[in-house]
Amino acid sequence: MAAAVVRESSLTLERGLALLQAVADAETEAPNISDLATAIGASRAAVYRLLVPLQARGLVVRDGAKVRLGLGVLELATKVLPRLRAAALPALRQLAETTGATAHLTVAEGSEAQVVVVVEPSWTTYHVAYRVGTRHPLNRGAAGRAIGMPSGGPEWVDSSGELQPGAHGVAAPVRGVRALQASVGVVSMEPLESDRIGPQVAATAADVAEALRHSGGRGIA
């Protein structure tokens, strides 16, 4: 009897998480109940029941039959960012010092790329000051385009003047951390030798992924 209750609770939790993911992944800004029922393979009545605890915690908001993510998701995300920064900083610091360029970790948020960690080199006469929180389209700049690079293809990508005239970037995707779409990159006002810098950036991206996995990053959403 107890085992059956545990299994039922586990199934309910799994379906609730699937519903939350379906809301996040919906192509429309606010999917309706029918869309969500189809997405998770459940009845409309089941979706209504699953929404109740998600609404209570502010993770979703209902507007009639429409459902969108709530501010509770943002609150959870702000608690994840310090762990992201702590895990990425050592590798990014080494990359910045080695290349003499400003190193950064960038994550995907919808159709945009957002910079969440920046490390500037300590020994250069001048370097790019890149502000945490900076956003740009995913299809522009090395950092954004690297996030969508498929496995088995090039290990890094470079760009020149796509986001700021005269700025040069090299970036590589962070792979192997579930639910995290991110890249590691460097940016400089001087041209970068991508054949030399690229492998260093790719190796740093792998180091960041490993650090995140060891810090519990498999569950980052």
pTM for the structure as a whole = 0.72
Q: What is the pLDDT of residue 140?
A: 93
Question: CATH 3.30.450.40 region(s) of the chain?
Answer: 75-219
Per-residue pLDDT, 160:
96
Comparing 46 with 76, the larger pLDDT belongs to: 46
* Rounded distance between C-alpha atoms, residue 184 and residue 104, angstroms: 6
3-class SS string, 101-134: CEEEEEEEECCEEEEEEEECCCCCCCCCCCCCCC
**Cβ atoms of residues 146 and 135 within 8 Å:** no
CATH class of the domain defined by 2-69: mainly alpha
Indicate where the chain has its CATH 1.10.10.10 domain(s).
2-69
Confidence of residue 9 (pLDDT cuts 50, 70, 90): low
| Burial class of residue 124, CB neighbours in 10 A (0-12, 13-18, 19+) | middle
Residue 98 has pLDDT above 50, yes or no: yes
* Arithmetic mean of pLDDT, 118-125: 95
Confidence of residue 171 (pLDDT cuts 50, 70, 90): very high
Maximum C-alpha span of the chain: 70
| CATH homologous superfamily, domain 75-219 | GAF domain (3.30.450.40)
